[in-house]
Homo-oligomer: A and B are copies of this chain.
Amino acid sequence: MERLHVQTPGKSYDVVLEEGLRHRLSDYIESTYSKILIITDENVAELYLEDVRKALGKRGHVYEAVIPAGEASKSFRRYEELLDHCVEAKLDRNSLILALGGGMVGDLAGFVAASYLRGIAFIQVPTSILAHDSSVGGKVAINHSKGKNLIGAFHHPEKVLYDTETTDSLPEKEKRSGYGEVVKHALLSDEGWFREVMNRTIKDLDTEEVKKDLIQGIRLKARIVGKDEKERGIRKHLNLGHTLGHAIESELHYGSITHGEAVVIGTLFALRLSNLDEPFALLMEWAKDNGYPLGIMEELEERNLVDRMKVDKKAQNDQIHYCLLSEIGSPFVTEVEEEELLQSLQQFKSEVIQ
Protein backbone atom coordinates (compact mmCIF):
# COMPACT_ATOMS: atom_id res chain seq x y z
CA MET A 1 0.00 0.00 0.00
CA GLU A 2 1.24 3.45 -0.95
CA ARG A 3 -0.11 6.63 0.62
CA LEU A 4 0.60 10.04 -0.90
CA HIS A 5 -0.56 13.33 0.50
CA VAL A 6 -2.02 16.38 -1.20
CA GLN A 7 -1.83 19.61 0.78
CA THR A 8 -3.40 22.78 -0.59
CA PRO A 9 -4.48 25.98 1.16
CA GLY A 10 -8.09 24.86 0.82
CA LYS A 11 -7.88 21.18 1.64
CA SER A 12 -5.57 18.33 2.50
CA TYR A 13 -6.21 14.70 1.62
CA ASP A 14 -4.66 11.30 0.97
CA VAL A 15 -4.23 9.33 -2.21
CA VAL A 16 -4.09 5.63 -1.38
CA LEU A 17 -2.85 3.14 -3.99
CA GLU A 18 -3.31 -0.56 -3.33
CA GLU A 19 -3.97 -3.71 -5.31
CA GLY A 20 -7.50 -4.99 -4.72
CA LEU A 21 -8.44 -1.91 -2.69
CA ARG A 22 -11.98 -1.94 -4.10
CA HIS A 23 -12.77 -4.97 -1.93
CA ARG A 24 -11.76 -3.08 1.21
CA LEU A 25 -13.29 0.31 0.42
CA SER A 26 -15.30 0.26 3.60
CA ASP A 27 -12.09 0.41 5.67
CA TYR A 28 -11.23 3.76 4.11
CA ILE A 29 -14.62 5.45 4.11
CA GLU A 30 -15.84 6.91 7.36
CA SER A 31 -19.11 5.57 8.62
CA THR A 32 -20.41 9.03 9.45
CA TYR A 33 -21.86 9.76 6.00
CA SER A 34 -25.65 9.79 6.02
CA LYS A 35 -25.94 8.38 2.49
CA ILE A 36 -23.66 7.34 -0.34
CA LEU A 37 -24.39 7.77 -4.05
CA ILE A 38 -22.10 5.73 -6.31
CA ILE A 39 -21.76 7.32 -9.74
CA THR A 40 -20.21 5.14 -12.41
CA ASP A 41 -20.46 4.32 -16.11
CA GLU A 42 -21.78 1.22 -17.85
CA ASN A 43 -18.38 -0.27 -18.62
CA VAL A 44 -17.00 0.16 -15.12
CA ALA A 45 -20.29 -0.98 -13.58
CA GLU A 46 -20.03 -4.27 -15.41
CA LEU A 47 -16.53 -4.88 -14.11
CA TYR A 48 -16.52 -3.49 -10.58
CA LEU A 49 -19.89 -2.28 -9.32
CA GLU A 50 -20.73 -5.61 -7.74
CA ASP A 51 -17.40 -5.63 -5.83
CA VAL A 52 -17.95 -2.10 -4.58
CA ARG A 53 -21.55 -2.86 -3.68
CA LYS A 54 -20.36 -5.84 -1.63
CA ALA A 55 -17.58 -3.83 -0.01
CA LEU A 56 -20.09 -1.20 1.13
CA GLY A 57 -22.70 -3.86 1.80
CA LYS A 58 -23.07 -3.35 5.51
CA ARG A 59 -23.83 0.33 5.07
CA GLY A 60 -27.41 1.43 4.71
CA HIS A 61 -28.48 4.11 2.24
CA VAL A 62 -26.23 3.28 -0.69
CA TYR A 63 -27.61 4.50 -4.04
CA GLU A 64 -26.32 4.00 -7.57
CA ALA A 65 -26.37 6.00 -10.79
CA VAL A 66 -24.96 4.40 -13.92
CA ILE A 67 -24.38 6.59 -16.99
CA PRO A 68 -23.26 5.69 -20.52
CA ALA A 69 -19.49 5.35 -20.95
CA GLY A 70 -17.52 7.86 -23.00
CA GLU A 71 -16.58 11.54 -22.94
CA ALA A 72 -19.94 12.47 -24.48
CA SER A 73 -21.48 11.89 -21.04
CA LYS A 74 -19.68 14.92 -19.61
CA SER A 75 -22.65 16.94 -20.81
CA PHE A 76 -25.29 19.25 -19.41
CA ARG A 77 -27.87 16.56 -19.88
CA ARG A 78 -26.08 13.96 -17.73
CA TYR A 79 -25.17 16.62 -15.18
CA GLU A 80 -28.80 17.57 -14.78
CA GLU A 81 -29.84 13.91 -14.68
CA LEU A 82 -27.36 13.14 -11.90
CA LEU A 83 -28.56 16.12 -9.87
CA ASP A 84 -32.06 14.66 -10.20
CA HIS A 85 -30.65 11.44 -8.73
CA CYS A 86 -29.22 13.37 -5.77
CA VAL A 87 -32.56 15.05 -5.14
CA GLU A 88 -34.50 11.80 -5.45
CA ALA A 89 -32.17 10.00 -3.06
CA LYS A 90 -32.51 13.05 -0.77
CA LEU A 91 -28.77 13.34 -0.32
CA ASP A 92 -28.04 15.91 2.37
CA ARG A 93 -24.98 17.91 3.34
CA ASN A 94 -23.55 14.92 5.19
CA SER A 95 -23.88 12.62 2.21
CA LEU A 96 -21.08 11.35 0.00
CA ILE A 97 -20.71 10.93 -3.73
CA LEU A 98 -18.39 8.13 -4.76
CA ALA A 99 -16.98 8.55 -8.25
CA LEU A 100 -16.15 5.05 -9.49
CA GLY A 101 -14.47 5.15 -12.88
CA GLY A 102 -12.12 7.00 -15.14
CA GLY A 103 -11.61 10.71 -15.71
CA MET A 104 -15.00 11.30 -17.27
CA VAL A 105 -16.84 9.88 -14.26
CA GLY A 106 -14.57 11.72 -11.81
CA ASP A 107 -14.96 15.08 -13.55
CA LEU A 108 -18.72 14.80 -13.93
CA ALA A 109 -19.47 13.29 -10.51
CA GLY A 110 -17.12 15.84 -8.97
CA PHE A 111 -19.00 18.76 -10.52
CA VAL A 112 -22.27 17.26 -9.28
CA ALA A 113 -20.73 17.06 -5.78
CA ALA A 114 -19.37 20.60 -6.12
CA SER A 115 -22.72 22.14 -6.96
CA TYR A 116 -25.37 20.00 -5.24
CA LEU A 117 -26.42 21.92 -2.11
CA ARG A 118 -23.47 24.24 -2.92
CA GLY A 119 -21.03 21.40 -2.37
CA ILE A 120 -21.01 18.00 -0.67
CA ALA A 121 -18.22 15.48 -0.07
CA PHE A 122 -16.94 13.17 -2.77
CA ILE A 123 -14.35 10.43 -3.02
CA GLN A 124 -12.55 9.48 -6.19
CA VAL A 125 -12.15 5.77 -6.91
CA PRO A 126 -10.22 5.85 -10.20
CA THR A 127 -10.24 2.77 -12.42
CA SER A 128 -8.08 3.98 -15.28
CA ILE A 129 -4.49 5.10 -15.77
CA LEU A 130 -5.69 8.40 -17.20
CA ALA A 131 -7.52 9.18 -13.97
CA HIS A 132 -4.26 9.35 -12.00
CA ASP A 133 -4.15 12.84 -13.41
CA SER A 134 -7.75 13.96 -13.19
CA SER A 135 -8.60 12.45 -9.80
CA VAL A 136 -6.00 14.53 -7.97
CA GLY A 137 -6.15 18.30 -7.69
CA GLY A 138 -9.80 19.18 -7.39
CA LYS A 139 -10.57 20.20 -10.97
CA VAL A 140 -14.05 19.03 -11.89
CA ALA A 141 -16.03 19.97 -14.98
CA ILE A 142 -18.37 19.21 -17.81
CA ASN A 143 -17.88 20.05 -21.48
CA HIS A 144 -19.52 22.77 -23.53
CA SER A 145 -20.11 22.05 -27.21
CA LYS A 146 -17.60 24.82 -27.92
CA GLY A 147 -14.86 23.56 -25.61
CA LYS A 148 -13.75 20.97 -23.13
CA ASN A 149 -14.15 21.50 -19.38
CA LEU A 150 -15.47 25.04 -19.87
CA ILE A 151 -17.96 24.66 -17.01
CA GLY A 152 -16.83 23.44 -13.65
CA ALA A 153 -15.35 24.16 -10.26
CA PHE A 154 -12.42 23.59 -7.96
CA HIS A 155 -13.71 20.98 -5.54
CA HIS A 156 -11.28 18.60 -3.92
CA PRO A 157 -12.17 15.01 -3.11
CA GLU A 158 -12.03 13.86 0.52
CA LYS A 159 -9.81 11.04 -0.65
CA VAL A 160 -8.57 9.27 -3.72
CA LEU A 161 -8.77 5.48 -3.36
CA TYR A 162 -6.90 3.85 -6.22
CA ASP A 163 -7.18 0.14 -6.82
CA THR A 164 -4.15 -0.48 -9.03
CA GLU A 165 -5.56 -3.88 -10.04
CA THR A 166 -8.26 -2.16 -12.05
CA THR A 167 -5.75 -0.71 -14.50
CA ASP A 168 -4.74 -4.25 -15.62
CA SER A 169 -8.10 -4.91 -17.17
CA LEU A 170 -8.10 -1.76 -19.31
CA PRO A 171 -8.39 -2.21 -23.06
CA GLU A 172 -5.25 -1.20 -24.94
CA LYS A 173 -6.84 2.01 -26.20
CA GLU A 174 -7.44 3.14 -22.62
CA LYS A 175 -3.91 2.29 -21.57
CA ARG A 176 -2.70 4.33 -24.52
CA SER A 177 -4.89 7.19 -23.36
CA GLY A 178 -3.59 6.96 -19.79
CA TYR A 179 -0.01 7.06 -20.96
CA GLY A 180 -0.71 10.39 -22.64
CA GLU A 181 -0.77 12.00 -19.20
CA VAL A 182 2.18 9.88 -18.03
CA VAL A 183 4.28 11.17 -20.93
CA LYS A 184 3.25 14.71 -20.05
CA HIS A 185 4.17 14.27 -16.39
CA ALA A 186 7.51 12.73 -17.34
CA LEU A 187 8.38 15.61 -19.68
CA LEU A 188 7.50 18.09 -16.92
CA SER A 189 9.65 16.17 -14.43
CA ASP A 190 12.97 14.85 -15.71
CA GLU A 191 14.83 13.31 -18.58
CA GLY A 192 15.42 9.96 -16.81
CA TRP A 193 11.75 9.21 -16.30
CA PHE A 194 10.89 10.39 -19.82
CA ARG A 195 13.40 7.94 -21.32
CA GLU A 196 12.07 5.15 -19.12
CA VAL A 197 8.57 5.82 -20.39
CA MET A 198 9.84 5.81 -23.96
CA ASN A 199 10.96 2.23 -23.28
CA ARG A 200 7.48 1.09 -22.23
CA THR A 201 5.36 -0.86 -24.70
CA ILE A 202 1.70 -0.11 -24.16
CA LYS A 203 0.41 -3.58 -24.95
CA ASP A 204 2.93 -5.26 -22.63
CA LEU A 205 2.72 -2.96 -19.59
CA ASP A 206 3.10 -4.78 -16.31
CA THR A 207 1.38 -3.80 -13.07
CA GLU A 208 4.56 -2.73 -11.33
CA GLU A 209 5.67 -0.44 -14.16
CA VAL A 210 2.26 1.18 -14.22
CA LYS A 211 2.14 1.59 -10.46
CA LYS A 212 5.55 3.24 -10.49
CA ASP A 213 4.47 5.69 -13.21
CA LEU A 214 1.22 6.47 -11.40
CA ILE A 215 3.02 7.25 -8.16
CA GLN A 216 5.56 9.50 -9.89
CA GLY A 217 2.79 11.29 -11.76
CA ILE A 218 0.67 11.83 -8.65
CA ARG A 219 3.70 13.06 -6.70
CA LEU A 220 4.40 15.67 -9.36
CA LYS A 221 0.77 16.73 -9.49
CA ALA A 222 0.49 16.96 -5.68
CA ARG A 223 3.61 19.13 -5.57
CA ILE A 224 2.30 21.53 -8.22
CA VAL A 225 -1.25 21.71 -6.88
CA GLY A 226 0.10 22.27 -3.37
CA LYS A 227 1.87 25.38 -4.61
CA ASP A 228 -0.85 26.67 -6.93
CA GLU A 229 -4.31 25.35 -6.17
CA LYS A 230 -6.28 27.67 -8.43
CA GLU A 231 -4.01 27.68 -11.49
CA ARG A 232 -2.73 31.21 -11.24
CA GLY A 233 0.88 30.24 -11.87
CA ILE A 234 2.79 26.97 -12.17
CA ARG A 235 -0.31 24.78 -12.36
CA LYS A 236 -0.59 26.04 -15.92
CA HIS A 237 2.39 23.79 -16.71
CA LEU A 238 0.08 20.81 -16.37
CA ASN A 239 -1.56 22.00 -19.56
CA LEU A 240 1.42 20.84 -21.58
CA GLY A 241 -0.04 19.23 -24.69
CA HIS A 242 -3.58 20.19 -23.74
CA THR A 243 -4.08 23.36 -25.77
CA LEU A 244 -3.98 21.52 -29.07
CA GLY A 245 -5.20 18.31 -27.37
CA HIS A 246 -8.47 19.92 -26.25
CA ALA A 247 -8.92 21.58 -29.62
CA ILE A 248 -8.59 18.22 -31.38
CA GLU A 249 -11.02 16.53 -29.01
CA SER A 250 -13.57 19.25 -29.36
CA GLU A 251 -13.24 19.39 -33.18
CA LEU A 252 -13.94 15.65 -33.16
CA HIS A 253 -16.84 16.07 -30.71
CA TYR A 254 -15.18 14.01 -27.99
CA GLY A 255 -15.76 10.78 -29.80
CA SER A 256 -13.31 9.18 -32.13
CA ILE A 257 -10.14 9.88 -30.15
CA THR A 258 -9.40 9.49 -26.44
CA HIS A 259 -8.21 12.34 -24.25
CA GLY A 260 -4.74 10.90 -23.74
CA GLU A 261 -4.28 10.20 -27.42
CA ALA A 262 -5.11 13.82 -28.17
CA VAL A 263 -2.70 14.92 -25.43
CA VAL A 264 0.14 12.95 -27.03
CA ILE A 265 -0.46 14.72 -30.33
CA GLY A 266 -0.64 18.03 -28.48
CA THR A 267 2.55 17.26 -26.58
CA LEU A 268 4.34 16.40 -29.79
CA PHE A 269 3.30 19.76 -31.19
CA ALA A 270 4.46 21.51 -28.00
CA LEU A 271 7.89 19.86 -28.40
CA ARG A 272 7.99 21.07 -32.00
CA LEU A 273 7.10 24.64 -30.91
CA SER A 274 9.77 24.32 -28.20
CA ASN A 275 12.36 23.37 -30.84
CA LEU A 276 13.30 20.26 -28.89
CA ASP A 277 14.14 18.12 -31.89
CA GLU A 278 15.55 15.02 -30.26
CA PRO A 279 12.72 14.49 -27.71
CA PHE A 280 10.30 15.28 -30.54
CA ALA A 281 11.75 12.53 -32.74
CA LEU A 282 11.83 10.07 -29.83
CA LEU A 283 8.22 10.71 -28.82
CA MET A 284 7.08 10.61 -32.45
CA GLU A 285 8.64 7.16 -32.93
CA TRP A 286 7.21 5.88 -29.63
CA ALA A 287 3.76 7.24 -30.48
CA LYS A 288 3.79 5.55 -33.88
CA ASP A 289 5.08 2.25 -32.47
CA ASN A 290 2.37 2.26 -29.83
CA GLY A 291 -0.52 3.01 -32.13
CA TYR A 292 -1.30 6.64 -31.30
CA PRO A 293 -3.60 7.89 -34.09
CA LEU A 294 -1.37 10.63 -35.47
CA GLY A 295 -3.06 10.29 -38.85
CA ILE A 296 -6.15 11.97 -37.49
CA MET A 297 -4.42 15.30 -38.09
CA GLU A 298 -5.14 14.87 -41.77
CA GLU A 299 -8.86 15.35 -41.13
CA LEU A 300 -8.41 18.55 -39.14
CA GLU A 301 -8.26 22.11 -40.44
CA GLU A 302 -5.55 24.31 -38.89
CA ARG A 303 -7.89 27.32 -38.93
CA ASN A 304 -10.56 25.48 -36.96
CA LEU A 305 -8.06 24.18 -34.43
CA VAL A 306 -6.70 27.65 -33.78
CA ASP A 307 -10.23 29.03 -33.37
CA ARG A 308 -10.90 26.29 -30.80
CA MET A 309 -7.73 27.24 -28.94
CA LYS A 310 -9.05 30.76 -28.53
CA VAL A 311 -11.95 29.59 -26.36
CA ASP A 312 -9.58 27.52 -24.27
CA LYS A 313 -9.68 28.44 -20.58
CA LYS A 314 -6.05 29.51 -20.73
CA ALA A 315 -6.70 32.08 -23.45
CA GLN A 316 -6.60 35.72 -22.37
CA ASN A 317 -7.75 38.69 -24.40
CA ASP A 318 -8.19 36.28 -27.30
CA GLN A 319 -4.45 35.54 -27.10
CA ILE A 320 -3.42 31.91 -26.97
CA HIS A 321 -1.21 30.97 -24.04
CA TYR A 322 0.97 27.96 -24.53
CA CYS A 323 2.99 25.74 -22.19
CA LEU A 324 6.37 24.98 -23.77
CA LEU A 325 9.64 23.48 -22.53
CA SER A 326 13.06 25.13 -22.55
CA GLU A 327 14.32 21.61 -21.89
CA ILE A 328 12.84 18.45 -20.40
CA GLY A 329 11.78 19.28 -16.84
CA SER A 330 11.71 23.06 -17.46
CA PRO A 331 8.27 24.22 -18.57
CA PHE A 332 7.17 27.83 -19.09
CA VAL A 333 4.04 29.56 -20.36
CA THR A 334 4.11 32.01 -23.24
CA GLU A 335 1.84 33.78 -25.68
CA VAL A 336 2.00 32.36 -29.18
CA GLU A 337 0.83 34.43 -32.14
CA GLU A 338 -2.04 33.09 -34.20
CA GLU A 339 -0.04 33.35 -37.41
CA GLU A 340 2.86 31.39 -35.97
CA LEU A 341 0.49 28.70 -34.73
CA LEU A 342 -1.15 28.37 -38.13
CA GLN A 343 2.16 27.96 -39.89
CA SER A 344 3.60 25.58 -37.32
CA LEU A 345 0.45 23.48 -37.42
CA GLN A 346 0.69 23.19 -41.17
CA GLN A 347 4.28 22.02 -40.98
CA PHE A 348 3.47 19.72 -38.04
CA LYS A 349 0.64 18.07 -40.00
CA SER A 350 2.96 17.19 -42.83
CA GLU A 351 5.48 15.71 -40.39
CA VAL A 352 3.09 13.49 -38.44
CA ILE A 353 0.90 12.30 -41.28
CA GLN A 354 3.65 10.59 -43.29
Contacts and interface: CB of A to CB of B under 8 A. Distances in A.
B311 A116 contact: no
Nearest to A118: B152
Nearest to A154: B118
For the residues of A in contact with B, the DSSP-based class is mixed
A144 B80 CA distance: 9
Contact of A153 (B84, B153, B317, B318): B153
Interface residues of A, number: 36
Nearest to A112: B151
Contact of A317 (B92, B118, B149, B150): B92
A338 B317 CA distance: 55
Interface string A225-257: 000000000000000000000000000000000
Query: What is the oligomeric copy number?
Result: 2
Given A76-B80, A118-B139, A318 B152 contact: no
Interface in A304-332: 310-311, 313-318
A195 B154 CA distance: 44
A87 B153 contact: no
A45 interface: no
Contacts of A310: 90
Nearest to A86: B150
Given A34-B316, A92-B316, A317-B92, A146 B115 contact: no
Most buried by B among A83, A92, A314, A317: A92
A111 B114 CA distance: 12
A287 interface: no
Contact of A119 (B90, B154, B316, B318): B154
A117 interface: yes
Interface in A186-202: none
Interface string A73-117: 000100010011001001011100000000000000001001111
A115 B317 contact: no
A123 interface: no
A224 interface: no
A78 to B, nearest CB: 13
A147 interface: yes
A141 interface: yes
Given A90-B318, A115-B115, A144 B313 contact: no
A215 B118 CA distance: 27
A193 B114 CA distance: 38
18 contacts: A34-B317, A76-B76, A76-B80, A83-B150, A87-B144, A87-B146, A87-B311, A90-B311, A92-B313, A93-B316, A94-B316, A111-B115, A115-B115, A115-B151, A115-B153, A117-B150, A118-B154, A153-B153
Given A83-B151, A92-B316, A114-B153, 4 more contacts: A76-B80, A87-B144, A92-B315, A118-B313
